[in-house]
Amino acid sequence: MEIKDRILYLVAGIVVMTGLALVVLSGHRGTRIENSGEISGGSEAPVAAGSQAADFKLEKLDGTTVSLESLRGKVVFLNVWATWCEPCREEMPSMETLYDDFRKNKDFVMLAVSQDTKGRAAVAPYVAKNGYQFTILLDPENKIGETYDVSGVPETFIIDRKGQIVAHHMGAFDWSRPDVRDALQQLLDSKQGRKG
């Protein structure tokens, strides 16, 4: 079995088992956005992996832009969230911990895509207040939500060096867990898809 397959099974197993535990222990943990625009409780979803991640180009808080294509050859942690989402606020400290673990690795990128319709005005004060250091992208028009078929927030996609989605998780999650860190490290250690 190739290392990519082993990593895929490991990440999928972690997410599925944790998702099942979260459903059993805490019931509805995500915030789902219905077509009507109303918000209701959502539950964990199974891993959806294997498809190519669609390219996008969004503005960062500092006004510069980033595209997924420009990150090819890196492992990308793509989280979709909003400041008004309680489960998002719950999981963000664990994202910061994970980011701190990998911030020196030039091949790891964490992107948190805000779905706040008020954009920078809503997001910048929240990020500053909490001291988050990972990259925040602004998506007030919900382009990522539509492109990635996001049904609620928070929702997270792990994208490998080739731009393939290797894990997909819906709902709040403790991203600081050692098994998550180990799985990401294995993904980073894989030479497949690395530029240069």
Q: What is the pLDDT along the chain (196 residues), one digit of tens a residue?
A: 555 555 555 555 554 444 433 332 233 334 332 222 222 233 333 335 688 999 999 999 999 999 999 999 999 999 999 999 999 999 999 999 999 999 999 999 999 999 999 999 999 999 999 999 999 999 999 999 999 999 999 999 999 999 999 999 999 999 999 999 999 999 999 876 566 5
Sign of the dihedral defined by the CA atoms of residues 115, 120, 122, 124, in that order: positive
Secondary structure E strands in the chain = 30-33, 39-42, 57-60, 65-67, 75-81, 108-114, 135-138, 152-153, 155-159, 165-170
For tokens 């030039």, what's the residue? Answer: 106
The architecture that CATH gives domain 3-189 is: 3-Layer(aba) Sandwich (3.40)
Overall pTM > 0.95: no
Nearest alpha carbon to residue 29 among 184, 174, 183: 174
Query: Residue 195: what are its φ and ψ, rounded to 5°?
Result: -75, 150
